[in-house]
Structure 1
């Protein structure tokens, strides 16, 4: 039932977003990829996905740190792909510092990319979904949308608020055929995390294996990374008919982290 639908996945030229975009395309969905970075590399990803999945794939480079860009991204998706059925708010950034040393401009940037872009994109997408009587909104939140860690005040605040946004939107849309849910992963194996392993190994003088187990995954009881394909598979399920009664949920995928 997903074949022929249109999905916008923010932050989808790498990591979780790319895996979700691939999984959607494999289901026969048309996809709007979104990301900054090397335009040629991103275009190569777009062309590859369109060729391999035999669906329509477009690419957008909206800077979600600029508030109005999220709305433009939704409008352009509907214009270029004929509508929008599924919105995945996945884009995110991180900065680590003690609260008294946290640069206010970085705080604002994180709120814009994680929280404000989710609100603005949702606000722009809902009218089209209402007209169709069907829609799926997924916010890729985090275990940090449920629990906190030190030195990540902006990210934790934004992710907690993103989960709150999810619940409120779900209640507003409960009788419309539109669901809104948050996926809350723990540490996922992405290029960003792989780089963190090398940096932590150097700082602590530990092997990569020790860093993974005792530093990166210290809070994750399974002591294994979540794979991006696992998150993507859950996203596909939540968009399907058998998930039509799941709305307003913050679904943990964190190896038991938030079960403590």
Structure 2
């Protein structure tokens, strides 16, 4: 684990002179170097937040942090000691936490590698708990905080061959609700955003895996597998997810907590 920043990270004081919704706030975005995380970092920065990009890819994290005028941290979120070494809640503080990092593995349960199953749960369920645990005292002391978890339609529905991912996302939905209840009288909200398939490197990587699993051409995977249960026959764009995350962090959302926001093209409506 390595930790790199461009300077001391401190929670910023709100500026009454700024018209940008998140001016003066500091946002920590995990998996912020690519895909949804990159789009979220860009959007929150555009809304005035100082963004800390947390990713295991140091080069990409530096690049995004530079683009948005923020800072970066480097850690493997599967490593508990690495997370604890970041100094979250002490040297690194944040008003906003966006739990976005994740990865996928596709295999039937009887062939699913137990180490991979555990790693997925570490990154997608244990890490959000550890990050929230570290940052909540500062949010509570300030009387304001926003936690947004990038969950998935798979937090509400299951798909075969995705036992680790589906169970981790279901667990994340429950964790978010507990955080919402515990933070309700302290000015801290917790919500999930649940997209269907998003145009990201993770989804693009799944296409080859699904083609092999189902014995079909990669060109058929998008329409016949990934979007088979979706009414809107297109991938969700990362910027759409980022817009919803930004809304949940913005003004007028004090009473929006413990909720799960589906943006799955009608998948779960059927």
Partner residue of 1:169? 179
The structure carrying a bigger helix percent of its residues is 1
Name 1:42's counterpart in structure 2.
61
Structure-1 separation of matches of 2:150 and 2:217: 33
Quote the offset at 1:45 in angstroms. Answer: 2.6
- For residue 8 of structure 1, give the secondary structure of its aligned residue in structure 2: strand
Confirm or deny: 8 A CA contact 1:32 1:77 kept in the other structure: no
Q: Could you tell which deviates more after superposition, 216-225 or 232-241?
A: 216-225
For 1:222 and 1:49, the matched residues in 2 are separated by 32
Shift of 1:173: 1.1
CA positional deviation for 1:131: 0.4
TM-score between both structures, scaled by the size of structure 1:
0.89
Determine the structure 1 residue equivalent to 2:91: 79
Runs of at least 5 residues in structure 1 that lack an aligned partner in the other structure = 51-56
Counterpart-to-counterpart distance in 2, 1:253 and 1:192: 18
* Contact 1:187-1:225 within 8 A present in 2 as well: yes
Cα displacement (A) at 1:59: 1.0
Kept after mapping to 2: 8 A contact 1:8/1:77 = no
- How many residue pairs end up in the alignment? 248
Asked if structure 1 preserves the Cα contact closer than 8 Å seen for 2:29 and 2:97, the reply is yes
Q: CA deviation at 1:200?
A: 5.6
Q: Which runs of 4 or more aligned residues in structure 1 lie more than 4 Å from their structure 2 counterparts after TM superposition? A: 198-203
CA contact (8 A) 1:35 1:62 kept: yes
Could you state the TM-score of these two structures normalised by the residue count of structure 2? Answer: 0.86
Indicate the larger mover: 14-23 or 195-204. 195-204
Paired with 2:195 and 2:158, the residues of 1 have a C-alpha distance of: 13
